[in-house]
Amino acid sequence: MATDGYGLGIDFGTSTTVAALAWPDGRVRPLLFDASPLLPSAVHAGPEAAAILTGADAGRASLAHPAGFDPNPKRRIDDGTVWLGGREFAVVDLIAAVLARVAAEAHRVAGQRPGTVVLTHPANWSRTRLGVLGDAAHRAGLPGVTFVAEPVAAAAYFRTALRRPVPPGRCIVVYDLGAGTFDVSAVRVSAESFDVVASAGLDDVGGLELDAAVVAHARAVTSTARAAWQRLDWPETAEETLARHTLWWGARSAKEQLSRHATATVRLPMVESDLLLTREEFEKAARPHLDRTTAFTVNLLREAGIAREWIGGVFLVGGSSRIPLAAALLHRTLGIAPVAVEQPELVVAEGSLLAQRPLPPAPVLGPVSGVPVGPGAGRDAPAPGGGRRRLHRRTAIVGGAALALAAGGGAAAAAFRPDRRRQPAGPRASDPAPVTGARFLAELTGHTGSILDLAFDGAGGDLIATGSTDQTIRLWSVANRGPVGAALPFNPGRGPASPWYVRGVRFSPDGSILAACGNDYVVRLWKVADRTRFGALTGHTGVNYVVAFSPDGQILASSSADTTIRLWDVARRRPLGAPLIGHTENVYALAYHPGGDLLASGGADHTVRLWDVRNRRQIGGTLIGHDDNVSSVTFSPDGRLLASTGIDRTVRLWDTASRQPLGAPITQPYASQSVAFSPDGSVLVSGGEHVRMWRLATRELIGAPLSDGTASVTGVSFSPDGGTLAGGVGNSLFLWEVLR
């Protein structure tokens, strides 16, 4: 058989690695390792310099030398190096050893190197992790690797191999319960592609935890054999190590057997007895773990705004998903019967190759449970119990894709719809001349530490405030190109060794008040006219990162490492209601909508969120697309657009009304710390390694970078008239004249 152009798909898993070959005639078949499609991902390094063993060989070697064994190198991908068998190894080399075993077997079967290689990965993996995986593939001699997210591969298998009809616009929910982790994703099907619109996971739920539940049950019913269990828990001899291996192998085998039969027997070495385990007993032990996965699935769909009617199928993948209770709990909770296959471990590897092919024709999307969709979705529709209710289009933005949903409208949703009237095409007489670049004006020095944030006085436009790691705030005059008065100490009385960094500064809209926050959990207020401090807002329990005034200046928002956003009555200097809660990690970015009732936030959980300030609740689904920290968010002057940027080297644009992403993200060769719109909304500027200006209409870079890259740019802002651009570059404040 000719093998020209055969493809190799690899699913490098926590516990097992699976590979599949796509032959030129269209067949896709699993690659076998020692007569099994499941290659243990384990590695072993002996006490002497020798090749790294993989798979079953690694498991056998571990019986004699357990210190050189790592059963789950995928879990070490962030560690850089590990210590095995008395030697230090780079994690990338351990992964490369597993991939090299796959490459060798593929070459043996096909007689030549593959024409294409596809590696799968969790949907939320960062560029850094993908870099490690790609480097490992290169070291393993695999050519031209491409990446496919695991849920996309599963969705491709669902549509192509299983021929399950899913209309465009609906989602496939991929429930992936593997050996080491649990992941759930919603994958939107379009006419030509799959988009991950929501994805999240649990690192402490998987088959290993279910194996541990079996062992815990065995321990409980043989609790009198304490000495035997101590030897099993902490083996000291080769015999005891083999006994421990036998125990855990038996627990895993019993778990798998109970997926097909009502009872299973577990041999308990050292205890010298056999345990008869029933499916009922196993399900009682496994139920807490599986309940978590079901609740996690429902919560993901709820946060993404995906209604049950828009689910085109629920697909079980991963070896542990074959446990009958997993499907039963999902069916009971979602009201949708999950689809299972005989060998769920193979789905992702085979699906990665199917994802490279054109999608089969999909059925046309029809009405969903009596709710009209498509162009008429905004019309009145019957409400439960009679009457009418207004429907609006709602969009969940997760993973850089948009899912249009029909949902009940409300005051909060309607309040944040900017004027959508069509504007005349082309330039108008009143339009300013286009920006052509920027010219360096001045470098203002005085800080002895890095500038972390800056802000223009929005009323007068001549004053700039900067906050720094030197624990001070400085005011600068644009016209005079110099400081205005002495520096304001952020926390007087603290010694210079205290890291009371100033992380966020903002002027009130009328320029009369300056707010600042930083490392001491307190938000401080100054009167700009006489430079006196007149308020300290306390309540956060973590470092504060940014502050933002409402357009009328009456409310101040602040964010923190305590994962909350707090709103403050500026005049009374007291909190307004309970904090806004939703982020799961540090909140680095805040911005008020020009209308005043909408607040945007971004943080270390890689998400952007929109908040109804009046009702203190999140609006719609979480906006997910960034795969690393979100460091800055800002609205366009007319409020129609939201821009976000972060450590993943992208600037993303979102439509405020629909919360849909607008085109592909702007990519940069460096992480971004800040982003700002020009006052006329035509230009976007980003700051990171450099300051760069982008023409919004075409997303073209305007001129060359404005800084030399020798210091990080942590803040950028336009003056109110758009004539000056300011950036915090290291310890200095740089000014540029905007050219038209």
| H-helix or E-strand spanning residue 580 | strand 580-581
Count of CB atoms situated within 10 Å of the CB of 389: 12
What CATH number should be reported for the domain holding residue 642? Answer: 2.130.10.10
Which band of pLDDT confidence, cut at 50, 70 and 90, is reported for residue 249? Answer: confident
Shared domain for 540 and 660, answered yes or no, is yes
Shared domain for 119 and 219, answered yes or no, is no
Which band of pLDDT confidence, cut at 50, 70 and 90, is reported for residue 428? Answer: very low
Shared domain for 131 and 278, answered yes or no, is no
Q: How far apart are CA 347 and CA 154, in angstroms?
A: 6
Eight-class DSSP state of 432: P
CA 515 vs. chain centroid, Å, equals 31
Shared domain for 553 and 695, answered yes or no, is yes
Q: Residue 135: inside a domain, yes or no?
A: yes
Shared domain for 101 and 227, answered yes or no, is no
Q: Residue 450: inside a domain, yes or no?
A: yes
Shared domain for 29 and 133, answered yes or no, is yes
The rounded radius of gyration (Å) of the Cα atoms in the chain is 29
pLDDT value at 432 more than 80: no
Shared domain for 120 and 269, answered yes or no, is no
Q: How far apart are CA 662 and CA 43, in angstroms?
A: 44
pLDDT value at 635 more than 90: yes
Half-sphere exposure of 712 (CA within 13 A, CB side): 12
Percent of the chain with pLDDT over 90: 42
Q: Residue 426: inside a domain, yes or no?
A: no
Q: Residue 275: inside a domain, yes or no?
A: yes
| H-helix or E-strand spanning residue 146 | strand 145-149
203: CB partners within 8 A, 6+ apart:
180, 181
- pLDDT for 184-221, tens place per residue? 999 998 877 788 888 988 888 888 888 888 898 888 88
Tell me what pLDDT residue 3 has. Answer: 42
| H-helix or E-strand spanning residue 350 | helix 347-354
Residue where a domain stops, chosen among 239, 264, 285 = 285
- The number of distinct structural domains making up the chain is 3
φ and ψ at residue 138, rounded to 5 degrees: -65, -45
Binning the chain into helix, strand and coil, the percentages to the nearest 5 are 25, 35, 40
Count of CB atoms situated within 10 Å of the CB of 665: 19
Q: Residue 372: inside a domain, yes or no?
A: no
Q: How far apart are CA 28 and CA 80, in angstroms?
A: 35
Which band of pLDDT confidence, cut at 50, 70 and 90, is reported for residue 423? Answer: very low
| H-helix or E-strand spanning residue 273 | strand 273-278
Shared domain for 136 and 228, answered yes or no, is no
Cα 25–Cα 27–Cα 32 angle in degrees, nearest 5: 130
What CATH number should be reported for the domain holding residue 123? Answer: 3.30.420.40
Shared domain for 599 and 733, answered yes or no, is yes
Highest mean pLDDT among 319-328, 421-430, 538-547: 538-547
Shared domain for 139 and 234, answered yes or no, is no
Which two three-digit tokens encode residue 40? 């243990």
Residue where a domain stops, chosen among 115, 149, 183 = 149
Shared domain for 113 and 219, answered yes or no, is no
- pLDDT for 328-367, tens place per residue? 899 888 888 889 888 889 999 999 999 877 655 544 433 3
φ and ψ at residue 368, rounded to 5 degrees: -110, 110
Across the range 573-587, mean pLDDT stands at 92
Residue where a domain stops, chosen among 122, 149, 176 = 149
Q: How far apart are CA 374 and CA 397, in angstroms?
A: 18
pLDDT value at 415 more than 80: no
Shared domain for 123 and 223, answered yes or no, is no
Q: Residue 548: inside a domain, yes or no?
A: yes
Closest CA to 659 of 631, 620, 629: 620
| Amino acid present at 634 | T
381/147: higher pLDDT: 147
What CATH number should be reported for the domain holding residue 237? Answer: 3.90.640.10
Count of CB atoms situated within 10 Å of the CB of 584: 13
Across the range 665-693, mean pLDDT stands at 90
CB 674 within 8 A of CB 632: yes
φ and ψ at residue 149, rounded to 5 degrees: -65, 140
126/132: higher pLDDT: 132
Across the range 675-690, mean pLDDT stands at 92
Q: Residue 120: inside a domain, yes or no?
A: yes
Q: Residue 609: inside a domain, yes or no?
A: yes
Task: Show the domain range for 271.
Answer: 207-285
- pLDDT for 504-557, tens place per residue? 999 999 999 999 999 888 999 999 998 999 889 999 999 999 999 999 999 999
Helix (H, G, I), strand (E, B) or coil at 424: coil
Cα 142 to Cα 96, 125, 377: the distances in Å are 10, 21, 49
Cα 192 to Cα 127, 187, 309: the distances in Å are 25, 13, 22
- Residue corresponding to tokens 């994690």: 91
pLDDT value at 61 more than 90: no
SS (H, E, C) 462-485: CEEEEEECCCEEEEEECCCCEECC
